[in-house]
Amino acid sequence: MVMDKSLSAEWTRIRGRLRAEYGEAAYRSWLKPLTLCGYSDNRVKLSAPTRFMRDWVDSQYGDRLSRLWKGEIEEIEGVDLILEGGMPSAPAAFQVQVAAKTAAGAGSGAGNDIGAPLDPRFTFANFIVGKPNELAFAAARRVAEASAVPFNPLFLYGGVGLGKTHLMHAIAWQIRETRPDRRVIYLSAEKFMYQFIRALRYKDTMAFKEQFRSVDVLMIDDVQFIAGKDNTQEEFFHTFNALVDQNHQVIISADKSPNDLEGMEERMKSRLGWGLVADIHPTTYELRLGIMQAKAEQLEVPIPQKVLEFLAHKITSNIRELEGALNRIGAYAKLVGRPVTLENTQDVLHDILRANDRRVTIEEIQKRVAEHYNIRLSEMYSARRARAVARPRQVAMYLAKQLTARSLPEIGRKFGGRDHTTVMHAVRKVDELRSTDRGFAEDIELLRRMLEN
Ligand code: ADP
Ligand code: MG
């Protein structure tokens, strides 16, 4: 097996993607324990510490893993999941953990904890309302307060880290407080599926069905997870229908609207859209600042308004990241015992700030540049050297170097498998032209600004 050094950079990136896509819990249980162990015959080898994990990861994440690897390196044809073999010592710690988990799981049996625990911070009181989330918030409040089911289901959707899980937990907290007699279950679609598969395995599907069909309020988070998983989807469909037919409240969240959920059956999509569909839009500056101010008050160190404004301005991706930045700054100030300033904020958060600066992908750059110079996108990968296509290609390589964190060889690969020296040459050439040709320099500046927005 060859272990190309650069593969670990790709693996780090893929892990970041997986974490963002599937959420922290799923990531930590299934994906983080995987080890990159090699690359041969155009296939990446990943190992899992137990047989069960290997099979589960293969069936649930296998396709996504392959696609992500292909996205990184075109030649890759797929991913092989293997069992971490012949190393009894290394995974010991992990085995203990798994054993503990299984024991707890088995003990729960038909009990109450088919749901997942609620985060005590995720309440309505802690939720800051702004334009992007006002509809979702109002709908969630309504469901939590209503004595009769107001709309069924409530379908919340929006991008990562925008508050879907927070709102669902808030509903659950409120109902628990005001109507303790009602049985409220919150769980991720992944956990739903996991339990379903376990029930199938232990031939216990009757108990599984009954458990879910007897709840008053069922919340399933991140339902996109079961798109394409036919058996689970089927089971979910029946559970869903049974509850809605009995007029029990169902609340669903997803990263896309019902219609846009790929791999979801038509009848399912249509039923998901029957009640109220509320989307959470990307954050605005005002909302970000509001959230920062509220969260800053809970920190032990004062954060100057200027710093809050700076962060709300700079970190635009999502609220989770914004929170993370604020916590890091707070922890830093406490640790070194120095007041927070704009300057040390920039220092402490340089990696987060840079990641937010550079969200552009090479594909976007290629597309924009091709449009700008009115050439075909395929010329970005073609071998043609005519000036009319070679120059735009160089510009795109230059921008890829400036705006992404990719290395020269990585960039070369994305441009039809060119050598890193070609990319280096392009970067130099464009730099040179920029300093001698004003029109050209302005052109590049314009492209850069378009791509950064
Ligand atoms: P999602 O489920 O949409 O990916 P989460 O609900 O997990 O996002 O939210 C990510 C983080 O951001 C959580 O810590 C949550 O408390 C916080 N958050 C999101 N929206 C808000 C808001 N409007 N006010 C306060 N905190 C928020
Ligand atoms: Mg969530």
Q: For 302-344, what is each residue's pLDDT tens digit?
A: 999 999 999 998 888 889 999 999 999 999 998 888 899 999 9
Rounded to 10 deg, the angle between the 350-357 and 305-314 helix axes is: 40
Q: Whose CA is nearest to atom 21 of ligand 1?
A: 163
**What's the CA-to-centroid distance between 429 and ligand 2, angstroms?**
46
Task: Return the exposure string of 143-168: e unless at least 16 CB atoms fall within 10 Å of the residue's CB, then b.
Answer: bbeeeebebbbbbbbbbbbbbbbbbb
State the virtual CA torsion across 208, 214, 218, 221 in degrees, nearest 10: 0
* Block residue for tokens 């609340």: 251
Q: Higher confidence at residue 147 or residue 415?
A: 415
Instruction: Give the position, in ligand 1's atom list, of the atom nearest the Cα of 319.
Output: 12
Query: Which ligand number lies closest to the CA of residue 280?
Result: 1
User: 76: which residues sit within 8 A by CB, 6+ positions away?
Assistant: 39, 42, 43, 44, 66, 69, 70
Q: Residues enclosing ligand 1, CB less than 6 A?
A: 122, 126-128, 133, 158, 160-166, 291, 319-320, 323
| Residue 113 pLDDT | 63
**Contact between residue 258 and residue 223 where contact means Cβ atoms under 8 Å apart:** no
| Cα 119 to ligand 2 centroid, rounded to whole Å | 12
- Mind listing the pLDDT tens digit for each residue in 221-239? 999 999 888 888 999 999 9
- Cα(265) to centroid of ligand 1, in Å? 29
What's the pLDDT tens digit per position in 110-130?
Answer: 334 678 889 999 999 999 999
Domains of the chain: 2-89 (3.30.300.180), 99-280 (3.40.50.300), 285-357 (1.10.8.60), 362-452 (1.10.1750.10)
Query: How far, in Å, is the centroid of ligand 2 from the Cα of 22?
Result: 9
User: For residue 169, how far is its CA from the centre of ligand 2 (angstroms)?
Assistant: 10
Average model confidence (pLDDT) for the chain?
86
Per residue in 377-406, pLDDT (tens digit) is 999 999 999 999 999 999 999 999 988 878
Ligand sitting nearest the alpha carbon of 225: 2
| Ligand 1 mean position, distance from CA 337 (Å) | 29
Nearest ligand 1 atom to alpha carbon 322: 12
Ligand nearest to the CA of 187: 2
pTM score, whole prediction = 0.62
Cα–Cα separations (whole angstroms), residue 312 to 307, 389, 449 = 9, 40, 20
* Ligand nearest to the CA of residue 296, numbered in listed order: 1
Q: Report whether 305 contacts 183 (CB < 8 A).
A: no
Task: Collapse the DSSP code of 280 into the 3-class scheme (helix H, G, I; strand E, B; otherwise coil) and give the result.
Answer: strand
Atom of ligand 1 nearest to the CA of 126: 25
- 373 vs 60: which has the higher pLDDT: 373
pLDDT at 99: 32
The protein residue with its alpha carbon nearest to ligand 1, atom 5, reads 163
Tokens matching residue 397: 């390589």
104-110-116 Cα angle (round to 5): 60
State how far the Cα of 372 lies from the Cα of 290, in Å rounded to an integer: 38
Ligand 2 (ion): residues with CB under 5 Å are 164-165
Q: How many whole angstroms separate alpha carbon 400 and alpha carbon 406?
A: 7
Residue 285 binned pLDDT confidence (cut-offs 50, 70, 90): confident
Q: Are 433 and 440 in contact (CB under 8 A)?
A: yes
**Quick one: which ligand is closest to 161's CA?**
1
Residue with CA at minimum distance from ligand 1 atom 9? 163
Give residue 94's pLDDT.
31
The percentage of the chain sitting over the pLDDT mark of 90, rounded to a whole number, equals 55
In contact, 393 and 429? CB cutoff 8 Å = no
Task: List the residue whose alpha carbon is closest to atom 25 of ligand 1.
Answer: 127
Average confidence (pLDDT) over 356-379: 88
Residue 33 Cα to ligand 2 middle (Å) = 21
Residue with tokens 């709102």: 167
Q: Which atom of ligand 1 lies nearest, measured to the CA of 222?
A: 2
Expressed in angstroms and rounded, the spacing between residue 72 Cα and the centre of ligand 2 is: 26
Task: Tell which one of 129, 320, 322, 326 to mutate to probe ligand 1, the residue whose CB is within 8 A of the most ligand atoms.
Answer: 320
Strand partners, 40: 43
The residue contributing the CA closest to ligand 1 atom 23 is: 128
**pLDDT at res. 5:** 56
Between the CA of 52 and the centroid of ligand 1 the distance, in Å, is 32
